[in-house]
Amino acid sequence: MNPTRRRYLRGVGGIGGAACLAGCASDGPGDDGGDGDGESDDSGGDAGGTRPEGTGGPGVSIVSTDGDVGLPVDLGVEVVREAATADHPPRLRTTLTNASDRRVRVGEGRAVHFEYVSDGSGALTFLPVDMEAPAEPDCWRLTDSIAVTEEYRTFELGAGESRSRSIDLYATPTDTDACLPVGEYRFETTVSIVSDDAEPQSSAEWGFSVVLE
């Protein structure tokens, strides 16, 4: 069983009360987030503003990723579904690979995969694909904030082993009518190598930038 340290609650999204208590689903090794991928909506046509025709918002692309952070793990991110559809928001997938010849334990288990991580401006956030987020369909702006339990989760990777999770992109609650806002956004999180009792031994920041256009 993964060691955890329960701490406090934090909110994702800037207005209103917490719509749901998130982050309590299984986060064990090999959990790939229940992808259901296999589709990439490239429906075209600019309907004006930030809503291309046939989609619920602009397309997302990765413009930069950080390099080696000096930890025994390699990190990566890729676009799974570029544009929102009436049924799904844009989707990315993050991957951690143990680049060493011994097992490592990584934490915090959700944040390293950018689950519940917002960009620096707070305009966008990533949520797990299996979460029923309070969002407007075909717009993918959260209608309320989300309370996230902040127990400290970890998972183990054997030598050379990889672990991937898919994450969906949402706009945070705002006072405007904008859906997914165009622009460039940077996401950053802390990756830690921890002991078996979940005490961090070494940590580093890793992140990437995306463009919505």
- E strand residue ranges, 82-123: 91-98, 104-107
Cβ atoms of 96 and 73 within 8 Å: the answer is: yes
Give per-residue pLDDT as tens, 5-59. 333 334 565 434 444 445 444 344 444 544 444 343 333 333 334 444 444 458 8
**Residues 90/170, Cβ–Cβ less than 8 Å:** no
Question: Which residues form the domain of 135?
Answer: 9-212
pLDDT the model gives residue 146: 86
Torsion angles phi and psi, residue 60, rounded to 5 = -110, 140
Angle made by CA atoms 34, 147, 193, in degrees to the nearest 5: 65
What residues contact residue 29 under an 8 Å CB cut-off, 6+ apart?
A: 155, 156, 157, 163
Tell whether 185 is covered by a domain: yes
For residue 163, tell me if it sits in a domain.
yes
Do the domain assignments include residue 182?
yes
Number of H helices, E strands in the chain: 0, 12
In this prediction, residue 141 carries a pLDDT of: 93
Residue 4 covered by a domain: no
Residue 3 included in any domain: no
Tell me how far CA of residue 59 lies from CA of 49, 50, 110, 200, in angstroms. Answer: 12, 9, 25, 37
Contact 212, 181 (CB under 8 A): yes
Q: Comparing 22 with 98, which gets the higher pLDDT?
A: 98
3-class DSSP state of 170: strand
Q: What is the pLDDT of residues 160-211, one digit of tens each?
A: 999 999 999 999 987 666 789 999 999 999 999 999 887 889 999 999 999 9
Ramachandran region, residue 30 (left: φ > 0; alpha: ψ -120 to 50; beta: rest): left
pLDDT tens track for 59-89: 899 999 999 999 999 999 999 999 988 889 9
Domain count, the chain: 1
**161, 70 in Cβ contact below 8 A?**
no
**Is 1 part of a structural domain of the chain?**
no
